[in-house]
A and B are shown apart, each in its own frame.
Chain A
Amino acid sequence: MLIYILRRLLVAIPTIALLVIAAFCMMHLAPGGPFTSERPLPPDVLANIEARYGLDQPLWKQLWDYFANIVLHFDFGPSFVYKDRDVNDIIATGFPISLTYGSLAFLAATLVGVALGIAAAIRHNTWVDYFAVSLGIAAQALPNFIMGPILILTFTLWLGWLPGGGWNGGQWQYLIMPVIALSTSYMGSIARITRSSMLEVMNANFIRTARAKGLPQRSIIWRHAMKPTLLPVISYLGPVFVYVLTGSVFVDLYFSTGGLGQAYVNSALTRDYAVLLGVTILYGALTVIVNLLTDLAYAWFDPKIRY
């Protein structure tokens, strides 16, 4: 097991390094930049600015400095647009917010989805099943940017129960709608995966054996069927995490929560490559780490897997 973990780690590190290089090169090959405006700057001013941000160095030197700064100091450099902020600062403000509602949405999608799926599978072909399945399908067609307007329309404009946006230090009223909007669609997918997986498991031979032994339904489900049911769900958690990350782009923009997604879109629109690069690398690295963790969880959960 330890060797398996080490081997996976060894693969993850060059992946992240290549990610940094690829994103960096792409950004620097792009025509135009944050300092190209409609009224061109005098050449000596432009040269000064470029020297200030190290853009006058050859590309490989810039890449090397960037890389070294990240590895040695965990420093993503200064923002090109905001004179008084660097990328670390922007990440430090936005990321805790994105992480808060993101992890809540992640939990909600997983727990509610699994519960719905199991309820549907246990009461197969009854109204509970039909209800859960139609709910799951409807939820899948409602991604975050559709759920957002619907929620605001219902809870803010019609009922007037919840504030339409803002963060306010993460008070629960401000959290509800972002979390629901982010989790709905993947809750539906998780419910469908859990249901079909559970149905398959309940038909397996070892469950029939457990039945034949006279075990009560409850212990059959919890002790025997649960673990194999959750395997496909676990392998799906990586994509859910990625979705929650990118979904934060929407949530921040629509609910004005002030998380990292807002910084990302703003930097995309103002061509603030430093922030764009920093956030891409952060999200990419997180994705690699989460994929690694889900693989490990899978290996731990599945007795059949060989590592």
Chain B
Amino acid sequence: MAFFGTSPKAAALADEITDFTAVRGRSLFRDALNRFLRNKAAMASLLILLLIVCFVIFGPFFSQWSNEEIDWVVMGDVKGMGGPSLETGHYFGVDDLGRDLFARTIQATRTSLLVGLIGAAMALLVGTFWGVVAGYYGGKLDSIMMRFVDILLAIPLTLVLILILVVAGRSFTALFLGLGAVSWLTMSRIVRGQTLALKSREFIEAARATGVSEGTIIWRHILPNLAGVVIVYASLLVPEMILAESFISFLGLGISEPNTSLGRLIAEGAGTMAYGTLWQLLFPLFFYVALIIAMFFVGDGLRDALDPKDR
């Protein structure tokens, strides 16, 4: 009689049990990813975003003019000769000063993308830190920190941004700092609420009971559970940041020459549209609207995928 466990049948059974590749459990992340992939509007928007990013990265290789070069031939008669054409090499036409709008649009789209990403990233870092500390430690510290946020939230944020740009001078650094300074407030409130809810859950209690240090609890147990909400909110912040920056630049208070952003280009185009140079408005406007709508849909898709409440 064979020993137990040495029969071929038992070996096959053991193989099957230890074969972890056969049936895989679906992780929460996998679930969310599947939900996102099934969302047609979000996927189409993601494609558009990718195309815009490709345009920014590879566009300069096709451009025949740099963004600062002035085309003196066209400059005298922008309305007649400055329109979009393949012959002159100005695919999007030229702006009022005879600079190539194709190159300028690339530069502006890059700025706007950067502004959106950096603004959202700063909100993510500062807001998460602020919210986790306030929510986790609670008590007096919590009420002081949140009171501070409430007061800042009471001021219209665009005005704060204008104030910061006036006080600190107009530069890229000031703009990014300003955007970061106004964007983290709502994020910190969301994170705090979430942290408060997480703090009283059993697995945190279990961690504390087994003697895990506070830093490790926050780093290993609280932060990963915040990730979903934080990512969703940050993705919705990106278009908001782009909007805010464009608004400020439209007023002439944001980015200054020779740098440019979509808001600035739209402002210039809007200023000259009465002279019949409509392309100066329409090309930046097209990229701007496409960018914002795509961002909205991607953010919405992420929320549907990651936030189980709204399904």
Tell whether A and B belong to one assembly. Answer: yes
Interface majority SS (helix, strand, loop, mixed), chain B: helix
Known: A15-B150, A18-B151, A137-B296. A29 touches B167 (CB 8 A): yes
- A284 CB contacts on chain B under 8 angstroms: 154-156, 159
Q: Does B222 contact A (CB under 8 A)?
A: no
Question: Nearest chain-A residue to B267 (Cβ)?
Answer: A145
Contact in complex: B151, A283 (CB < 8 Å)? no
Within 6-50 of A, Cβ neighbours of B (below 8 Å) are at 15-16, 18-19, 22-23, 26-27, 29-30
- B155 CB contacts on chain A under 8 angstroms: 19, 23, 280, 283-284, 287
Most B CB within 10 A of own CB, among A23, A249, A265: A249
Contact in complex: A30, B166 (CB < 8 Å)? yes
CA distance A143 to B289 in the complex (A): 10
Q: Does A5 contact B (CB under 8 A)?
A: no
Known: A26-B163, A246-B159. A146 touches B288 (CB 8 A): yes
Q: Does B251 contact A (CB under 8 A)?
A: yes
- B273 CB contacts on chain A under 8 angstroms: 149, 152-153, 157
Q: Does A114 contact B (CB under 8 A)?
A: no
- A269 CB contacts on chain B under 8 angstroms: 252-253
Contact in complex: A246, B156 (CB < 8 Å)? yes
Within 249-287 of B, Cβ neighbours of A (below 8 Å) are at 250-253, 263, 266-267, 269-270, 273-274, 278, 281, 285
B interface residues with partner A (beta carbon < 8 Å): 150-151, 154-159, 162-163, 165-168, 243, 246-247, 250-253, 263, 266-267, 269-270, 273-274, 278, 281, 285, 288-289, 292-293, 296
Can you give 28 A-B contacts (C-beta < 8 A)? A15-B151, A18-B151, A19-B151, A22-B151, A23-B155, A27-B163, A30-B166, A137-B296, A141-B289, A142-B289, A143-B243, A145-B250, A145-B266, A148-B270, A149-B285, A153-B281, A242-B157, A264-B162, A265-B162, A265-B253, A268-B162, A268-B163, A271-B166, A276-B163, A283-B155, A283-B156, A284-B154, A284-B156
Query: When A and B form their complex, which 4 residue pairs have the shortest distance between CB atoms, in order from nearest?
Result: A149-B270, A30-B167, A246-B158, A145-B250
Assuming A141-B292, A145-B263, A284-B159, what are 20 further A-B pairs, CB within 8 angstroms? A16-B154, A18-B151, A27-B163, A29-B167, A138-B293, A140-B296, A149-B285, A152-B273, A153-B278, A157-B274, A246-B156, A246-B157, A249-B162, A268-B163, A268-B253, A276-B166, A283-B159, A284-B154, A284-B156, A287-B154
